[in-house]
Amino acid sequence: MTGFLHGASYGVVIVSVLMTATALSLWFERKLAARMQSRLGPTLVGPAGLLQPLADVLKLLQKEDIVPLKADAILFNLAPPVAVVCAIGVAAAVPFSPTVVAADLDVGVLYVLAIGAITVLPVFSAGWASNNKLALLGGMRAVAQSISYEVPLVLAALVPVILAGSMRIGTIVRVQSEGHWFVVWPFFLGIPAFVIFVLAMLAEANRIPFDIPEAESELVAGVTTEYTGMKFALFYMAEYVHTLVASAVAAALFLGGWDGGPFRPGLHWMVLKTLLLFAALYWMRWTLLRFRSDQLMGLCWRWLVPSSVALVAGAAVWVVFVG
């Protein structure tokens, strides 16, 4: 019981910090995007525009809540909250420091990948239930993309599991803190696996360059075309949370989590690595053009899957012969 209360209280803390971080990341992203485009970004609301996310949320809250006439109302209304729940649920098994973790499961990696995989369901049901051809197209693309990119995601996540010998994320981080981070040694396994994991995670979260399902220039807003007000906000919040948490998972699995190298380990290292990875993902988002669906699939099945299979085999060989 005390273990449950312990984990639950940490869980509450993590979720609240995640929500705040999402709001701040809204501001951060807009400022980052603006500076990259030689603009100023939000400056009016609050000091340096820090209250802009609050203004956005208030604006979205007071919008009319529209459910299309022939839409499947239950699925339509359920999709956004389920998306947010799935995105937040992943954070339960991620250790942010040796003590701050909601539930350091023995099968932590499996749990993370499984809950992350469920996020395709609310996206597709939003596309189907909207009774809108553009949303349907977006939903179909999302399903194809997410299911395909599951494979390299899982295989790339297997590499640190094999190298550390456990699926518990806490153990993986501990192995890295006692030895080297997996992107440092063995770098010929760690760096490609990291890159593949990040790319596959981008595709799961429907971010540029893989954001075909919500390609705004082709399908007006893709899957979220018919959503208004707070439900729209929930979808976008789900996307931010997913990216944040997936960056945290990548930092834990490959970048050593709360380990600080020669310095003292702590929560701040995890936060710093997550934020750096997050910023790098946004940098990529605001720079690159998007892939077409079939090019996306080609990239996955012809490049990422064979490379990740080879990496898993290489990791196994490494562990057996080198230890």
Partner 1 sequence: MRTVQVARRVNPHLSIDTYDPEAELMLLHFGPQHPSTHGVFRMDLTLDGEIVVKAVPHVGFLHRAVEKLCESLAYVQITPIVDKNDYVAPMTNEQALNMAFEKLLNLEVPRRARWMRTLFAELQRIASHLLWLGTFALDLGGALGGGSTVFIYCFRERELILDLFEEVTGARFHYNTHTIGGNRHDIPAGWSAKVHQALDVIASRLSEYEGMTLDNKIFVARTRGVGVLDADLALELGITGPILRACGVDHDLRRDAPFHAYNEVRVQVVTATGGDCLARAKVRLGEMRESIRLIREMVDNIPAGAINSGKPIKVPLQTKIPPGQTYVAIETPRGELGTYVISDGSQFPYRLKIRPPSLHALSALPYILPGATVSDAVAILGSLDPIMGEVDR
Partner 2 sequence: MGYFTDGLRAMRVTLTNMLRPASTVEFPEVIRPRAERYRASFALLHDEQGDELCIGCLQCERICPSQVIAIKFGGKRESPITGKKRGYADDFLLDMSACIFCELCVQVCPTDAIVMTREAEEPAYTREDLVLTMAKLYANEKSKPRAWGDATRLMGMQELPKAPKPAPAPAAAPATSGGGTHGTGEGSG
Provide the token pair at 46: 């609050």
List 40, 61, 276, 317, residue binding partner 2 (CB under 8 A): 40
Residue count at the site for partner 1 (CB under 8 A)?
Answer: 30
Distance CA 25, CA 98 (A): 25
Report what 251 binds from partner 1, partner 2, none; CB cut-off 5-8 Å by kind.
none
H helical segments located in the chain: 2-36, 52-61, 73-89, 108-118, 120-129, 133-164, 169-178, 187-204, 229-254, 267-285, 293-298, 305-321
Residue count at the site for partner 2 (CB under 8 A)?
Answer: 17
Nearest approach, Cβ of residue 19 and partner 1 (Å) = 22
Nearest approach, Cβ of residue 133 and partner 1 (Å) = 5
Residues 170-199 touching partner 2, rule: CB under 8 A, are 195
Provide the token pair at 135: 């949303």
Nearest approach, Cβ of residue 44 and partner 1 (Å) = 19
Nearest approach, Cβ of residue 289 and partner 1 (Å) = 4
Distance CA 29, CA 34 (A): 8
Distance CA 282, CA 300 (A): 21
Residues 269-308 touching partner 1, rule: CB under 8 A, are 285-295
Provide the token pair at 302: 């012809």
List 4, 283, 294, 310, residue binding partner 2 (CB under 8 A): 283
Q: Does 70 bind partner 2 (CB under 8 A)?
A: no
Biggest alpha carbon distance in the chain?
Answer: 63
Binding site residues, partner 1, CB under 8 A: 33, 36-39, 133-134, 137, 141, 208-209, 211-212, 215-220, 285-295
